Chain A
């Protein structure tokens, strides 16, 4: 059950729309963040570079103007220590020792003259000597053994020595890292929220479409009174529902028109037929001898045949337009067939035909019993009319859920090639057939009206086979 729900969700348009919308939203917000990140990172860098340039100039000044005596190192060292206390972006202040800043002075020969900072100055010097650092242009310095690079500014004093001031990028990276972490958290939440909102709104919107589809598929062949649910909304879905209902109105009215026409036709033809038949019957009872009754009897038979033809052609016409009116009830097809075989067996054996039924017990269908009777009668009448003496007819009935499968096979000559492709069309009949040519069209009409099918073919071993499927009644289908 739940997996089926999952499937409907995964297959729904709402899911796909939400996925694409969320993807677009996620990419957009990510781009905005990357731009923002670049801007913030650049700003932080500019600030630390400005500080470095300023401080290195001050230190250079101090170094130049301090006499090169015993206290030189102490004075310059002190100034460097002070400077390191004012580091920008500094997050950690605990402890007097500070590893985020170093100060380094080289002599004219490039040897290490003064070093203020954590660890050994030699390593920094080696690293500095590997990269050329230009004055007024702070640049990155990667030191062996230290994970985080330093930003280093330099200046050359008038006495030919160089002063380097390095600032660890650790704090800068931490600020950016924090920013990134928060943003990603926020981004994930936003994307999820966006997905939820888009999915909810499209799901609700499309659930209206689903309701319309369900209602529309429930509107049956003959029941056209139902309408799809409409909303007050003036959007596409509301329009769709109203348009479908208007279309159904039109279909219903043309269906009604068809019924009116067929009813009027039936009425206009039946009234004179009734009068003719009645008068014939009266003259039959008044006729004095057999010679005079014979033409009257055949006229009555012609009237009956005409009536049957009229009924059948109106039924076929309505069924072709999916407008055949059914009066459904649950019937047992097995029992119905046995009764009809019982009825037809004597006339079949009179013609030298044999009939047998193979059925596995009750087969319940929801159908118009009168129409099914007439359909089977048509099929049996056909067998009697077209089979040569000595033929066998086999009726088979089995449940092929969700349908009942009725087969009627014989070992006669089968359908001729000119008849078979058009068998279910109106007015199609064999050359020697005396019928009105509506029999198989009527069979087709009845099965269609019951949402079933009928197929005809010639068997490989000779003879004809007609296969009718009719949907089972709901309870039997569940079994």
Chain B
């Protein structure tokens, strides 16, 4: 998977470059719009990460020009702007997803993965999810651990389903709030943690391998091996 990263801030560009490479992507980085256009004409990319505030041109303009020269790869917009209008405009003008700075690396990777998945033919919506000895029946809304049915509430099932879909990868608290509860808030209190503790109490029984791990300062991960 080859990614084009367009970001003018040197610090951000270098840590993104390293993180993306660690995550297994081939990354080309461009510091401005002009370099990005040149790279896009030479190579074919699977996805683009574009910062809106570039020194030589507006990120929106760059996306439009890239679309004009035939770049069809999905674009993840990074922006330090705060207005909702910019978000809407970014998505209207050829952006496929939008991330506000500062962001958690895990969220960037998750969104990037989503974009790449969206672009590749999917193998159909599975009705069952399986992670190690954890099994979710999406139609019957039923979860089993080692064959034992777990007594989950509706909300806990949705939370577990999200963790299973991201199994092996880090999810942050704001990703959970966004995907499970559908809201972009930054609570001052540990609301998400309490939900995870409760879910863990039901999923990881005594004597079983703990599946839900907390990565402090980062988020949670559901072990898949």
Contacts and interface: CB of A to CB of B under 8 A. Distances in A.
A339 B191 contact: no
A297 B216 contact: yes
A275 B80 CA distance: 12
Contacts, number: 132
Contacts of B181: 339-340, 342-343
B207 interface: no
Given A267-B81, A296-B217, A278 B189 contact: no
B169 to A, nearest CB: 13
B83 A270 contact: no
Interface in B78-129: 80-85, 88, 100-105
A86 B188 CA distance: 114
Nearest to A377: B185
A473 B1 CA distance: 47
B12 A278 contact: yes
A342 B188 contact: no
Contacts of B15: 275, 278-279, 281-282
**Which interface residue of B9, B19, B80 has the most chain A CB atoms within 10 A?**
B80
A347 B191 contact: yes
Contacts of A275: 9, 11-12, 15
Contacts of A459: none
A374 B188 CA distance: 11
Nearest to B51: A271
Contacts of A230: none
B141 interface: no
A314 B217 contact: no
B213 to A, nearest CB: 13
B102 A377 contact: no
A381 B189 contact: yes
Interface string B191-225: 10111001000000000000000001110000000
B18 A282 contact: yes
B81 A266 contact: yes
B19 A284 contact: no
A16 interface: no
A343 B16 CA distance: 33
B182 interface: yes
Given A266-B81, A278-B105, A308 B12 contact: no
A311 interface: yes
B67 to A, nearest CB: 25
Nearest to B190: A347
B168 interface: no
Nearest to A282: B15
Interface in B6-38: 9, 11-12, 15-16, 18-19, 22
Given A274-B103, A277-B102, A346-B198, A266 B82 contact: yes
Given A271-B101, A278-B15, A350-B194, A298 B217 contact: yes
A263 interface: yes
B175 to A, nearest CB: 13
Interface residues of B, number: 42
A435 to B, nearest CB: 6
B84 A325 contact: yes
Chain A, interface size: which category? 35 or more
A344 B155 CA distance: 12
B12 A271 contact: yes
A285 to B, nearest CB: 8
B187 A270 contact: no
Interface in A377-402: 377-378, 380-381, 384-385
Contacts of A262: 82
B183 interface: yes
Chain A interface SS verdict (over half): helix
A422 B181 CA distance: 33
A359 interface: no
Contacts of B217: 280, 284, 293, 296-298, 300-301
B186 interface: yes
A145 interface: no
A28 interface: no
Contacts of B2: none
**Which interface residue of B18, B19, B104, B189 has the most chain A CB atoms within 10 A?**
B189
B195 A346 contact: yes
A86 B218 CA distance: 126
Contacts of B187: 377, 380-381
A297 B188 CA distance: 16
Contacts of B177: 343
B191 A344 contact: yes
B206 to A, nearest CB: 21
Contacts of B194: 346-347, 350
Contacts of A373: 183-185
Given A282-B15, A373-B184, A271 B189 contact: no
A40 to B, nearest CB: 79
B82 to A, nearest CB: 5
Given A281-B105, A284-B218, A301-B217, A327 B84 contact: yes
B9 to A, nearest CB: 5
A278 B16 contact: yes
A300 B218 contact: yes
A259 interface: yes
Contacts of A380: 187, 189
Interface in A258-272: 259, 262-263, 266-267, 270-272
A259 B195 contact: no
Contact of A277 (B53, B104, B184): B104
Q: Which 5 A-B pairs have the closest CB atoms?
A: A297-B217, A275-B11, A278-B15, A274-B102, A270-B80
Given A263-B83, A293-B217, A374-B184, 14 more contacts: A270-B102, A273-B101, A275-B11, A278-B11, A281-B104, A343-B177, A343-B195, A346-B194, A346-B198, A347-B190, A369-B183, A370-B84, A377-B183, A384-B189
Interface of B: 9, 11-12, 15-16, 18-19, 22, 53, 80-85, 88, 100-105, 155, 177, 181-191, 193-195, 198, 216-218
Interface of A: 259, 262-263, 266-267, 270-282, 284-285, 293-294, 296-298, 300-301, 303-304, 307-308, 311, 314, 325-327, 339-340, 342-344, 346-347, 350, 368-370, 373-374, 377-378, 380-381, 384-385, 435, 439
